[in-house]
Amino acid sequence: MAETSKRSRVFRIFESIAGDYDRANARISLGLHKSWKRMLIHRLSRSAAPGGAVLDLCCGTGDIAIALAEARSDLQVTGVDFSPAMLARAEARGQGMENLRFQRGDAMSLPFPDACFSAAAISFGLRNTEDYAQVLQEMRRVTVSGGQVYCLDSLVPDSRWIRPFYRLYFKHLMPLLGGGLAHRREYLWLSESTEAFLSRRELEALFTRCGLSGVASKTRMFGACALVWGKKP
């Protein structure tokens, strides 16, 4: 019941904020989200096999999938999300790109056969799913042996000196910056989901438990954002 209610809540939130989602991201990250995403795009671009397929899971409005498809015209990039409103914006933004497609799907039960992607990524989406391990296991399943699995997400910083300022911003200022008075409650969920999410070390440990090897990470903004990756043996 708890899982169903989380999924339903997240679905309603993203359906309601899709129209202003990209501008809100720029506001609440103070413009830094672009550099965080470039970190992921760069690694995906380097690790994906020539002529391979790449999965962008919980793709939202498609900025990472579009940027990767532009950077590597030899790749076939697939963006998957469960929100029709988000996908509609992604499809409009990526219109005319022959090596890019978007489709609706469930992150915990991907509609793809085993080992069909040379790399898979999820950005700012894992913390909103019902079962982190199941999502990573699905990403591992659809990735080829030797392929990389990536997760870029928001975390509570490790530093006890930074955490109070981080929490002040995310709990009180970020919801207003992101959603204004009309959608303040929806953006408050982003703060709550980050608080309930794993630490960087816990996320690395989960990657290992899900059967990924060579697990490593990079952080930005005092640990408020982390990119974790591992290879499917």
User: For the segment 82-92, what is each residue's pLDDT rounded down to a tens digit?
Assistant: 999 999 999 99
Query: What pLDDT is attached to residue 94?
Result: 95
Q: At residue 101, does pLDDT exceed 90? A: yes
Query: What pLDDT is attached to residue 176?
Result: 57
Q: At residue 204, does pLDDT exceed 90? A: yes
**Confidence band of 57 (pLDDT split at 50, 70, 90):** very high
Give the domain ranges of the chain. Answer: 2-155+198-231
Query: What pLDDT is attached to residue 1?
Result: 36
Q: At residue 2, does pLDDT exceed 60? A: no
Distance, CA of 64 to CA of 102 (rounded, Å): 12
Query: For residue 18, which of 216, 137, 197, 183 has the smallest C-alpha distance?
Result: 183
**Confidence band of 6 (pLDDT split at 50, 70, 90):** confident
Question: What DSSP designation does 172 have?
Answer: I
**Confidence band of 195 (pLDDT split at 50, 70, 90):** confident
Distance, CA of 141 to CA of 223 (rounded, Å): 29
Query: What pLDDT is attached to residue 79?
Result: 98
Query: Which residues are 55's β-sheet partners?
Result: 78, 120
Query: Which residues are 79's β-sheet partners?
Result: 56, 102
Question: What DSSP designation does 199 have?
Answer: -
Instruction: Say if residues 114 and 46 touch (Cβ distance below 8 Å).
Output: no
Average pLDDT over residues 100-110: 97
Query: For residue 225, which of 126, 138, 130, 140 has the smallest C-alpha distance?
Result: 126
The 10 Å Cβ neighbour count of residue 42 is 13
User: How large is the greatest C-alpha to C-alpha distance in the chain, in angstroms?
Assistant: 48
Tens digits of residue pLDDT in 61-74? 999 999 999 999 99
Distance, CA of 198 to CA of 17 (rounded, Å): 25
Distance, CA of 157 to CA of 174 (rounded, Å): 16
Strands 225-231 and 143-154: antiparallel
Residues 6+ positions from 49 with CB-CB distance below 8 Å: 118, 144, 147
Query: What pLDDT is attached to residue 20?
Result: 66
Average pLDDT over residues 227-233: 98
**2-155+198-231: CATH number:** 3.40.50.150
**Confidence band of 125 (pLDDT split at 50, 70, 90):** very high
